[in-house]
Amino acid sequence: MRSGILLAFLIIGAQTVFAQAAPPDIPLPRVTFGVDKAQSVEDVSVTLELVALLTILSLAPSIVIMMTCFTRIVIVLNFVKQAIGAQNAPPNQMIIGLSLFLTFFVMAPTFNRVNEEAIQPYLAHEINYQEGLDKAIKPIREFMLRQTSEQDLALFIRASRLPNPSSVEELGMWTIIPAFIISELKTAFIIGFLVYIPFLVIDMAVASILMSMGMMMLPPMMVSMPFKLILFVMVDGWSLIVQQLLLSFH
């Protein structure tokens, strides 16, 4: 009985001490989102700029893939990986990461022009939003046109059923972008075919040797992979592939 009473007093005392030592209640922050009445035209323009920025950020992956050199680079690197026969080396994450950094390297002059001619003047309030957008598209448009074949441009011009333009300045981005993508795919597959040839020769030579030795049950890929790796290392394959990719954009 006495022990129960003592335990009750100890519990009450501990609660009293902790209650006195506890810090005051800290209010939790609350994030709200609302729509208020605009006080001036500048408030409306800021809202529209914010919406445009969020739209661009949501479309950024598509812009990087469809309007830069990323498509050609990632396809060629995947062809190299498949030609060697190493399915998991290097991993896909490394291929995509290398393709992104090579894309930024190739597109650096274009991005610098966009920054100098469009972004910085717009931030300095020297040009408005529409002028900044037009100046930002121009360097990217010029890059895409340099890499696009005339046949692909003619294909989409005929498909649009519009009058033939007198110059490339009259072409819209809805015509240039699909033509650029088709040209990049064609160029990437041509480079991939050239990459496959030496490795295909090794596979055929190994398969012929195994057939002549009567070792038909042994997979030729298992025997040819070390020879392909040795060849790739001896010619410094990755540097050679990257060098040719960079030169293909000049």
Q: How far apart are CA 172 and CA 165, in angstroms?
A: 10
CB neighbourhood size of 124 (10 A): 8
Confidence of residue 9 (pLDDT cuts 50, 70, 90): very low
Query: Could you tell me which residues come within 8 angstroms of residue 132 by beta carbon, excluding any fewer than 6 positions away?
Result: 118, 119, 121, 122
Does the structure show a pLDDT above 90 at 171? no
Segments making up each domain of the chain, as ranges: 69-193+237-247
Q: What pLDDT score does 184 carry?
A: 92
Mean pLDDT of 227-233: 84
Token representation of residue 217: 């049950």
Cα radius of gyration rounded to whole Å, the chain: 31
Q: How far apart are CA 119 and CA 121, in angstroms?
A: 6
- pTM, 2 dp: 0.74
Q: Are 75 and 99 in contact (CB under 8 A)?
A: no
